[in-house]
Structure 1
């Protein structure tokens, strides 16, 4: 798997909207995200169609594909960030020019619904993409330091590094109220102990499962699987979606589960009940309540990269990213 050229201070980052459009953001949020990326030393430019918004707060397939193709084709652009997630990035998959993308590998980062398009690019074009902050994520103020630190480590350096747990986490709708936030103590948790290494795939579980049966689904047998889900899941749907993915894989080397939003009602009791259903998960390293997904803060990880997991010591080390 190829690694895109890492970002450097002074590089141009293009913002595209493969899912929901930027029109869903407040002007304050838009400006603050742009300013924060510029403060990191990047030049920030925007796809021409990111403000177009239809009945479902998105834009046409043609408009979204055009912006992605232009971002990959433009030699001045060194990295691509998505505006935000949503529901429909998988609509684009048959219409992307994967040869164009393959011949112009560059950093592509987003999470949630962006799991579909990032994974498809990795599968079809043969280079690592990244599950990490959206453009809109840089609007967040509190807990931004953790998010930015591991964004930079993953996308701006080449040396292997380890991620540690954030000491705090939040489930607040921070984009509605930046001041009155509630944080709780955080730590990663071990379901089953062990250590292993291997290729990494994953992201948003329900979105990744949309790729099953298509050419865009990666071969996840013997991989380290990172999965999370959002507020729309419930214990029963998470359980069946996880089962489906494990059946597709056959065998995996490790499982890492992102922290759930409280509204999902996937409590620790429910999650342990679900994990207990699968004998294979008692035989491999499994971590949960890890800092990625739809709670804050999150770290960035490489789709198609390589990772070492030690669930006994609760360490995650990225070795190819």
Structure 2
């Protein structure tokens, strides 16, 4: 699969929530301008402005937009507008043979977990969990976020490093006050491990359990995170379900929980202690992953090598 280069054409589409969910096209125009300043061409899908009762588009429209983007030889990369709640609706209707025949970069986060893991599972094509289109209108923290996005999409081997500071404020409201704190990646259980990256948003990844779209690599590392609005007892329930579906991870790496989750260190340790395996494998948490800002980008389906003593995470796309 071709890696991203300056001058490449990025197609923006909405597999989940529409641009209307974020205030409309003009409210997000700065994201387009930032991508163009990075020397990318930006276009939008045929049904980009469709908006229904759930601030999304019909299944047929979203599937058509994805197929059209993969079939268009001028498109080098596909970028989701934002997450949402319903991209798993698309999975039975996607033409995975078509996608496999026209492999290209596809990136998103949050609800994008569903189709990113499904495409990897059904085709073997590696996908990217990182900023969405609308993420590029964020101002503070954008240098780190963009740098980590570019390294993942343009290199076949790269290392994840912590941001300098993080925020759990509404990134999609750039005029609102922001509060930043020093970043510190933390370790629950030490060790070294390697495995294939799968996972993403806890609740969305849980939707794949028992379906043909759940990836099943032999050795896997789970990257997991939760969105705003999910309290610790729901996070604990979803984690238990994932560890039942994926009972032998080589390591588990947790993204930083948004402030709305009210996940304290005491509660986190309590939840971790429910699962004996998490004391026997490398477990890191408070990583720059998903619903706090800024966020790094990872490659679903690539090999990750973790060393908790060094707090090192190296990703190699050349090795499955």
Which category of TM-score, normalised to the shorter sequence, fits these structures? over 0.9
Structure 2 residue aligned with 1:64, among 57, 62, 65? Answer: 62
1:225 and 1:254 in contact (8 A); partners too:
yes
Q: TM-score when scaled to structure 2? A: 0.96
Cα distance, 1:62–1:266 mapped onto 2, change above 3 Å: same
Q: Give how far 1:222 is off.
A: 2.9
**Alignment partner, residue 112 of structure 1:** 110
Q: Give how far 1:263 is off.
A: 1.0
Structure 2 residue aligned with 1:201, among 198, 202, 221? Answer: 198
Structure 2 residue aligned with 1:303, among 300, 304, 316? Answer: 300
Q: Give how far 1:250 is off.
A: 2.0
Pair 1:148 & 2:170 matched: no
Aligned to 2:10, the other structure's residue is in SS state: strand
1:201 and 1:304 in contact (8 A); partners too:
yes
| Structure 1, unaligned runs of 5 or more | none
Task: Give the distance between the partners of 2:287 and 2:140, measured in 1 at CA.
Answer: 18
1:134-283 to structure 2, matched below 5 A, reads 134-158=132-156, 160-178=157-175, 180-219=177-216, 222-283=219-280
2:135 and 2:171 in contact (8 A); partners too:
no
Q: Which moved more, 1:294-303 or 1:308-317?
A: 308-317
| Structure 2, unaligned runs of 5 or more | none
**Alignment partner, residue 31 of structure 2:** 33
Runs of 4+ in 1 over 3 A off after TM superposition: 26-29
Matched length = 317
Structure 2 residue aligned with 1:80, among 72, 78, 81? Answer: 78
**Alignment partner, residue 18 of structure 1:** 15
Task: Give the distance between the partners of 1:13 and 1:177, measured in 2 at CA.
Answer: 23
Q: Give how far 1:179 is off.
A: 5.7
Task: Give the distance between the partners of 2:152 and 2:175, measured in 1 at CA.
Answer: 26
Q: TM-score when scaled to structure 1? A: 0.96
Task: Give the distance between the partners of 2:218 and 2:252, measured in 1 at CA.
Answer: 12
2:135 and 2:172 in contact (8 A); partners too:
no
Q: Give how far 1:28 is off.
A: 4.5
Task: Give the distance between the partners of 2:265 and 2:74, measured in 1 at CA.
Answer: 46
1:109 and 1:133 in contact (8 A); partners too:
yes
Q: Give how far 1:164 is off.
A: 1.1
Q: RMSD value over aligned CA atoms?
A: 1.2
Q: Give how far 1:266 is off.
A: 1.6
Task: Give the distance between the partners of 1:190 and 1:204, measured in 2 at CA.
Answer: 20
Q: What's the CA shift string for 1:14-40, capped at 9, x where partnerless?
A: 001000011223345421000111111
Task: Give the distance between the partners of 1:156 and 1:196, measured in 2 at CA.
Answer: 25
Task: Give the distance between the partners of 1:251 and 1:238, measured in 2 at CA.
Answer: 19
Task: Give the distance between the partners of 2:81 and 2:208, measured in 1 at CA.
Answer: 22
Pair 1:289 & 2:286 matched: yes
